[in-house]
Every structure is written in structure tokens, then in C-alpha cells.
Structure 1
Amino acid sequence: MHPQGNNDDPHPPSQAVDTPDKGRFRHLRKWLRTHGQSVQAGFWQGAGYKLGSGAVSILILWAQSR
């Protein structure tokens, strides 16, 4: 075996081979570039909604206990 690898390899490491998996990952990376900000914004909006809902629940419980 050669120290640098197999010279009979039709696709040396410098050449990119387009496989179906790479196409899926490329699509996912493209989707994240275009929609990534909206996903993060949606996450923070949901977290804020939950926090606000919990605060209102605590206020109602506090008011009822008085």
C-alpha cells in the first residue's frame, strides 16, 4: 500500500463527488441560510410567550390567595 493512499482511486480527495446525501445536506444548508433567522425568531417568540403566560398565571394565583 502506498503511504499517500490508493493511486487507483478514480476520485482523488481533491475532487468533490456529488452523492444524493450531499444533495440533501446542500438543500438543508440552503434552507437554514434562508429560514434560519425565522426559526430562531420563532423560538424566542415562543419562549417569550411561555414566560409571559407563566407570569400571568403567577399573578392570578397571587391575587386569588389574598
Structure 2
Amino acid sequence: MKTLQDIQTQIVQLTTNIEVNYPELYRSLEESPSTLVSNPHPSITRAIMQDYLNGLKQVLKQYLKNHNSK
């Protein structure tokens, strides 16, 4: 099982990869309204961060699928 720190490291690596190799995609990455927390002290769990990582992976996968087919 991955630790929270492992997941955070993967998020940093993935967003860095997107920033360097796909700057047009990086510029379009925005926080989804569903990820914005109204609680001033939210509890960041491993599951929440894993969902965020999975979402980033899906965004990149879809981007590559759409741009490699042209």
C-alpha cells in the first residue's frame, strides 16, 4: 500500500512531467469545483490524494489519446 508521501511524490512527478512536456495541457489544469474545500482545515487523506492522482493520470491519458490521433 502506498503511503501519503508516496502519492504526493507521484503527483509532483506527474505535474512536473505535464508542465515540461505538455505546457498547453498544464496551463489548462484547473481545480475542479468538487475538489475545492470549504472547510478551512480539511483533512487530506491518502484516498483523497489517490483520487486526485488518478484524475491527473486520466487527464493526461485523454489528452494523449486526442492529440496522437490527429
Q: State whether TM-score is above 0.5.
A: no
TM-score (norm 2): 0.37
TM-score between both structures, scaled by the size of structure 1 = 0.39
Larger radius of gyration between Structure 1 and Structure 2: 1
